[in-house]
Structure 1
Amino acid sequence: MTASAGNGRNEASGMHTPLVVSPQDWHAAHGRLLAMEKAHTRARDALAAQRRRMPWMAVEKAYVFEGPQGRASLAELFEGRSQLIAYRAFFEPGVFGWPDHACRGCSMVADQVAHLAHLNARDTTLVFLSRAPQGDIARLKQRMGWTMPWYTVLDDFDWDFGVGEWHGTNVFYRDGDRIFRTYFVNNRGDEQMGGTWNYLDITPLGRQESWEDSPEGYPQTPPYKWWNWNDAYVEGAAPDKRWVEVSDAGEAAFRK
């Protein structure tokens, strides 16, 4: 393949495309970009480490939600786990798409949500919150194929936590009977949400893996070892010995 002398041009679209180069030049360019991408990854890890050291805010007010099984407190939304990620989705009268659809942007966020078993395995619960009645939420979930827990806001929760007039993701930690707000992101920050890793990176405990820079005493296990098929997690079970052997190679590559 011969390298172009200047930018290419896609005659069909009129786009000015990048150079067309030899395989050797392409790999060299990719190597330069990869170095920048690795630096970006390390910077993202460092930012997550600072997020785990952000001060907490005690939640002193009692909040009530409506779920499929009836009324529920904020503590009950945790489903017995220590961490709660709560996304405020716009689905209510007055929202574009009502009553057949939720907000298009919030619906795109919902479409990105990975299988919740992986978050649950890291002591973390994800819920969606809206002001729509439960009957409308159940109908919407069935139509769109969504399975995340989705509660109806009944009081000032959304206004108290920065999502009264916009979408946003709040993170909470439960220590016995006490609940703390630990993080909040909205606007374009919500674009990264949906994947297991990005969700865990905004929690106070993080991914809970041994390579992370976390405060002393935080729960941590070796990377890869806790991973499992979404239908095979068993609480308290030791990692599968065969998977440990396979993942050792992956852990070595992780350090590069």
Structure 2
Amino acid sequence: MSLPEIVPRADWRAAREALLAKEKAATRARDALSAERRRLPAVEVGTEYVFEGGDGKATLLDLFEGRDQLVVHHFMFAPEWDAGCPGCSAFLDQIGHLAHLRARGTSFAAVSRAPYPRILPFKARMGWTLPWYSSYPGDFDRDLEATVERDGQPLDRAGLSCFLREGDRVLHTYSAFGRGLDGLGSADSLLDLTALGRRDPRGGVRHHDEYDL
């Protein structure tokens, strides 16, 4: 890998200004894409999925924790594995403090096909405290297309799915897989995938231990 060309400061400044114009155009295009994403139609989730987590059995509605939005990370962890996907693990490592999502009425949870007793020791090994649920042996991952069939065998895909709650109704609003997760991890980047987008928390952005959650 070669080093960049070394030039005088004035030449660097001119090149930087030219690139900045393209960066601003990309930002405007990304904002427009996020607005279009928020206008996507939604589909009601009619299946009563059952998950297992740290507090026992839970429904999809329970994963909202009383908030009106939910972002689910489809974490690749097959039932027969002893450890989760390294790439999915690297993604979870980048997730910031959940208070910044929760202050905007949005919950976050990881979901895997592995039984919860397999997830628990790996979660402890990684030092994660965020909510993580097992969908085993249900069809949640297949129905959300996070698990697909290849040569007659289930194949998991890393992904994110967004849900919106209207009373007791759960609406599926968006999903992304593979390269669609590039650049995601911050609260704002995850909120850009949701139907309600970036919402300022009551009282504005604060230190994570100052939110009244």
Matching residue within 9, 12, 24 for 1:23: 9
Residue equivalent to 2:212: 234
Which residue pairs with 1:163 in the alignment? 146
Match of 2:171 among 161, 173, 180: 180
Point out the more displaced range, 175-184 or 189-198: 189-198
Q: What fraction of aligned residue pairs are identical, expressed as a percent?
A: 47
- Measured in 1, the distance between the counterparts of 2:93 and 2:2 equals 33
Moved more, 130-139 or 71-80: 130-139
**Larger relative contact order (Cα-Cα within 8 Å, sequence gap ≥ 6):** 2
Out of 109, 114, 120, the position equivalent to 2:102 is 120
Distance in 1, Cα, partners of 2:199 & 2:79: 40
Partner of residue 201 from structure 1, selected from 192, 198, 202: 192
Q: Deviations for 1:33-90, whole angstroms, at most 9, x for unmatched residues?
A: 1111011111100100001111111111111101111111110000000001111111
Residue in structure 2 matching 1:81, options 67, 72, 84: 67
- Following TM superposition, by how much is the alpha carbon of 1:136 offset from its aligned partner in structure 2, in angstroms? 2.5
Deviation at 1:195, TM superposition (A): 1.2
Asked if the contact 1:109–1:191 (Cα under 8 Å) also holds between the matched residues in 2, the reply is: no
Are the equivalent residues in 1 in contact too, given 2:45–2:170 (CA < 8 A)? yes
TM-score (norm 2): 0.90
Partner of 1:137 in structure 2?
119
Map of 2:151 onto structure 1: none
Deviation of residue 233 (structure 1)? 0.3
2:93 aligned with 1:111, yes or no? yes
| Cα-to-partner distance string for 1:100-138 (whole Å, 9 max, x where unaligned) | x21111111111111111000110001000122223322
User: Does the CA-based 8 Å contact 1:162-1:168 persist in structure 2?
Assistant: no
Within the candidate set 38, 43, 50, 1:57 is matched to 43
| Structure with greater strand share of residues | 2
Instruction: State the partner residue of 2:54.
Output: 68
Contact 2:163 2:170 in 1 (8 A): yes
Cα contact 1:91–1:132 (8 A) shared by 2: yes
* Aligned residues of 2:79 and 2:115 also touching (Cα < 8 A): no
Q: Considering only CA atoms, is the larger Rg found in Structure 1 or Structure 2?
A: 1
1:163 deviates by 0.5
Structure 1 unaligned regions, length at least 5 = 1-14, 210-219, 236-256
TM-score, normalising length from structure 1? Answer: 0.76
Tell me whether 119-128 or 226-235 shows the greater mean CA deviation: 226-235
What amino acid does structure 1 have at the position aligned with 2:146? V
Question: Which blocks of at least 5 consecutive residues in structure 2 are unaligned?
Answer: 148-154
Compute the RMSD of aligned alpha carbons: 1.6
After TM superposition, the structure 1 stretch with the greater mean CA deviation from structure 2, 164-173 or 79-88, is 164-173
